[in-house]
Amino acid sequence: MLADPLQACLLHFDDETDAAGRLAQAAQLPAKMIERHRFPDGELKLRLPVDGAGRLPPQVVLLRSLHDPNEKLVELLLAARAARTLGARHITLVAPYLAYMRQDIAFAPGEVVSQQVVGGFLAGLVDAVITVDPHLHRVATLQEAMAVPDAIALSGAEPLSDLIARRRPHALLVGPDGESAQWIAQAAVRHGFDHAVCTKVRHGDRDVTIELPPIAAAGRAVVLLDDMASTGRTLALATRLLRAAGAASVDVAVTHALFAGDALQALNDAGVGEVWSTDCIPHASNAVAMAEPLAQALRSLLQRRGGLRQSAPLP
Ligand SMILES: O=P(O)(O)OC[C@H]1O[C@@H](O)[C@H](O)[C@@H]1O
């Protein structure tokens, strides 16, 4: 790796070495690992990869995809705060999956609006965030959820659309609920797919009702496209309805492969054919690599910040 004129490095944890390697190579940054030690009582000790003088470069990129988020939020708190004291003047969080974005409103008095709390917490740690398809339903922009100077939201819809065009060139794209309309529109326009969106009501974690849109699904190769599968119940029910409406096949494409518990079994039982996802969350279904688009966004952000650094102090 050539010395980086941006004076930047990418820090990652030991369980994301592969993803860090891919991103670092695409962004042409040196990747360095943060050492973790877990004490017998569950507390964490981190050690950041400082240079011989005990310092970090001025631009630090922290890679952490925030599935299984609770402990990772503590790791980010420790790592980001320490990075500042060790010389980082600009910290970018690359979180291909950004957690806690779905709890964006208090449905009952006293309910915590996690999106605001976690968004505010992360905004207090870093100067920039790059993520993919953050679940922003009632909030229009990532900046509203996470008020940092640079909040960049990429999408997996177009790369997933490219994959679908190769695997199911005549697919009917279906979104399982109103929230998916944004991704369906992006993916459909890219390759001219027929498309439609269902109506969904959520009653509980694993309990949803769905109404199909007025479309002719009979005989069609349907691909359900969504931002994420968590319990898989949304996609499983949509699949059952589409199968009952005569769809020749139903495959699933998601940006975030959370697949909690028996989610994959539920999809299988419902009659889903193939399951494709981006590699924002490592999973056996990963079929679309996001390192290139993430690296492009990161490179241009660092260049912008590096340019600022020459003429004015970084915030
Ligand atoms: O039904 P599961 O997989 O649990 O939840 C995922 C769904 O719930 C929504 O917020 C997501 O956008 C997706 O449609």
The ipTM, to two decimals, is 0.99
- 112-149 per-position pLDDT tens digit: 999 999 999 999 999 999 999 999 888 889 999 999 99
Q: Please list, in sequence order, all residues whose beta carbon lies within 8 angstroms of the beta carbon of residue 11, skipping any fewer than 6 positions away.
A: 31, 32, 33, 34, 48, 49, 60, 61, 62, 63, 79, 83
Q: Say what the pLDDT of residue 281 is.
A: 98
Confirm whether 2-155+290-309 and 157-288 share one CATH topology.
yes
Q: Band the pLDDT of 253: cuts 50, 70, 90.
A: very high
Distance CA 19, CA 204 (A): 33
Angle between helices 233-244 and 263-270 (to 10 degrees): 0
Ligand 1 atom nearest to CA at 205: 4
Structural domain boundaries in the chain: 2-155+290-309, 157-288
Asked whether 45 and 96 are in contact (CB, 8 A), the reply is no
- The chain-wide mean pLDDT, for the chain, equals 95
pLDDT at residue 2 greater than cutoff 50: no
Question: CB neighbours (10 Å) of residue 14?
Answer: 10
Answer yes or no: 72 catalytic.
no
CA of 72 to the centre of ligand 1 (A): 22
- What average pLDDT does this structure show over 241-270? 98
Please provide the DSSP assignment of 79-113 as one string. HHHHHHHTT-SEEEEEESS-TT-S--S-SSTT---
Residue 196 banded pLDDT, cuts 50, 70, 90: very high
Q: What is the pLDDT of residues 81-108, one digit of tens each?
A: 999 999 999 999 999 999 999 999 999 9
In the reported structure, the alpha carbon of residue 178 is separated from the centroid of ligand 1 by a whole-number distance in angstroms of 11
Q: Which atom of ligand 1 is nearest to the CA of 232?
A: 3
Contact in structure between 196 and 225 (CB atoms under 8 Å)? no
Single-letter amino acid code for the residue at 261: G
Residue having the nearest C-alpha atom to atom 1 of ligand 1: 234
Q: What is the pLDDT of residue 312?
A: 45
The CATH number of the structural domain formed by 157-288 is 3.40.50.2020
For a pLDDT cut of 70, what percent of the chain falls above it?
A: 96
pLDDT in tens, 212-221: 999 999 999 9
* Residue 154 Cα to ligand 1 middle (Å): 19
The answer, yes or no, to whether residue 28 has pLDDT greater than 50, is yes
Mutate which of 228, 262, 275 for ligand 1? The one with the most ligand atoms within 8 Å of its CB, which is 228
Distance 177 CA to ligand 1 centre (A): 9
Collapsed DSSP state (helix, strand, coil) of residue 222: strand
Q: Is the pLDDT score of 3 beyond 50?
A: no
Say what the pLDDT of residue 307 is.
54
Ligand 1: atom nearest CA of 102 is 10
Mean pLDDT of 169-177: 98
Residue 175 phi/psi, 5-degree rounding, is -95, 135
Does residue 5 surpass a pLDDT of 80? no
Residue 41 has pLDDT above 80, yes or no: yes
117-126, 278-287, 290-299, 301-310: least confident range: 301-310
Closest CA to 95 of 116, 72, 120: 72
Q: Pocket around ligand 1: residues whose beta carbon is below 6 Å from it? A: 102, 135, 176-177, 179, 226-234
The CATH architecture annotation of domain 2-155+290-309 reads 3-Layer(aba) Sandwich (3.40)
Query: Nearest 5°: CA angle at 142, between 288 and 6?
Result: 70
Q: Of 314 and 185, which is predicted with more confidence?
A: 185
